[in-house]
């Protein structure tokens, strides 16, 4: 710990236990905080400490008491050592790939719907979900702008029943190959979270080619909002992509030729590979935080339709370079 904290300008304390025996839970959380402070003390480090507290901190539970005590310990240490301290009070945090059947009802519902299971609903209970990416942005802002004191983040209040119904409608529309309305940032966050539990087992999605004496037609993208569609041709052996998105919903659909689409979740070494052809139309919707690429593995030009839920903005492209495979 001393080695870790020695050169830190800021430390975000997210570690903690929130399930289990009350006494063990309380003692574990206090010990984690004291270990952090002792490490700073031992090497004379004076970082800006940011502590993730919870809206449960005002409850008379072992978890709530531990959050209050940890905040007090860190604030007192910061005052004594002329350091900065910020308490971030977080509501119901959710996001892509979150652990179901644990802290987040959003994760549980999304996981159940993605695997065809039945959700257990308590309709009147209120929750206040906030997406993990919003929390991350606020943490960064606190550190950069040197904000101190207690700071409560605001989520999107909703009943568990309404949350369930929203996710069910999204899942139903998506299974009918319709992109639901994701113009609202909260709905987009919910949809991206739901999609994260579909990958990779639900892809590629094969489409119906409608053929008559005039030729053929394939419905490629049906959406409750606009976005942007574009078509590219790619020479044999050429690879496009090698980037990831944090928010965008993006669809790859090969219209002609043969392609290999590769995806790798960030911080993972596992690469998912799909081979698709224009004579058997099938799409893959790219999950957020998965770097992806498409390569022409045929001998003819590859023609691909791409759809994105947002029109490209050079000032905020939501496109981050990252190789699927290391060079």
CB-facing half-sphere around the CA of 295: CA atoms within 13 A? 13
Domains of the chain: 2-164 (3.40.50.720), 205-321 (2.60.120.10)
Per-residue model confidence as pLDDT tens for the chain (327 residues): 999 999 999 999 999 998 899 999 999 999 999 999 999 999 999 999 999 999 999 899 999 999 999 999 999 999 999 999 999 999 999 999 999 999 899 999 999 999 999 998 976 899 999 999 999 999 999 999 999 999 999 999 999 999 999 999 999 999 999 999 999 999 999 999 999 999 999 999 999 888 888 878 888 999 998 899 999 999 999 999 999 999 999 999 999 999 999 999 999 999 999 999 999 999 999 999 999 999 999 999 999 999 999 998 999 999 999 999 987
> Is the distance from CB of 323 to CB of 236 less than 8 angstroms?
no
Residue 147: is the preceding peptide bond cis (ω within 30°)? no
pTM: 0.91
- β pairing state of 250-256 and 282-286: antiparallel
């Amino acid at each position: 710990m001393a080695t870790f904290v020695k050169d830190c300008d800021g430390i975000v304390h997210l570690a903690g236990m929130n399930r289990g025996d009350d006494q063990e839970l309380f003692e574990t959380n206090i010990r984690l905080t004291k270990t952090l402070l002792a490490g700073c003390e031992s090497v004379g480090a004076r970082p800006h400490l940011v502590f993730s507290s919870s809206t449960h901190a005002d409850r008379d539970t072992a978890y709530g008491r531990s959050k209050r005590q940890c905040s007090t310990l860190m604030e007192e240490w910061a005052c004594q050592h002329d350091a900065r301290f910020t308490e971030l009070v977080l509501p119901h945090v959710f996001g892509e790939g979150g652990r179901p059947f644990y802290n987040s009802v959003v994760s549980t519902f999304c996981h159940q719907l993605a695997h065809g299971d039945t959700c257990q609903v308590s309709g009147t209970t209120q929750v206040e979900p906030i997406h993990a990416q919003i929390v991350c942005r606020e943490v960064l802002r606190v550190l950069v702008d040197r904000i101190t004191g207690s700071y409560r983040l605001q989520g999107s209040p909703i009943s568990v029943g309404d949350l369930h119904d929203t996710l069910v409608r999204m899942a139903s529309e998506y299974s009918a190959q319709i992109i639901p309305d994701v113009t609202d940032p909260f709905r987009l966050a919910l949809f991206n979270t739901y999609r994260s539990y579909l990958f990779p087992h639900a892809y590629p999605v094969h489409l119906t080619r409608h053929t008559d004496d005039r030729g053929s037609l394939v419905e490629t993208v049906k959406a409750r909002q606009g976005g942007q569609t574009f078509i590219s041709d790619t020479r044999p052996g050429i690879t496009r992509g090698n980037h990831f998105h944090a928010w965008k919903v993006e669809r790859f659909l090969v219209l002609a030729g043969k392609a290999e689409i590769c995806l790798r979740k960030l911080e993972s070494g596992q690469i998912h590979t799909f081979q698709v052809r224009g004579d058997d139309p099938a799409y893959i919707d790219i999950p957020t935080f998965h770097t992806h690429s498409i390569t022409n593995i045929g001998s003819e030009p590859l023609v691909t339709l791409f759809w994105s839920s947002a029109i490209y903005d050079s000032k905020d492209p939501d496109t981050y370079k990252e190789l699927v495979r290391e060079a």
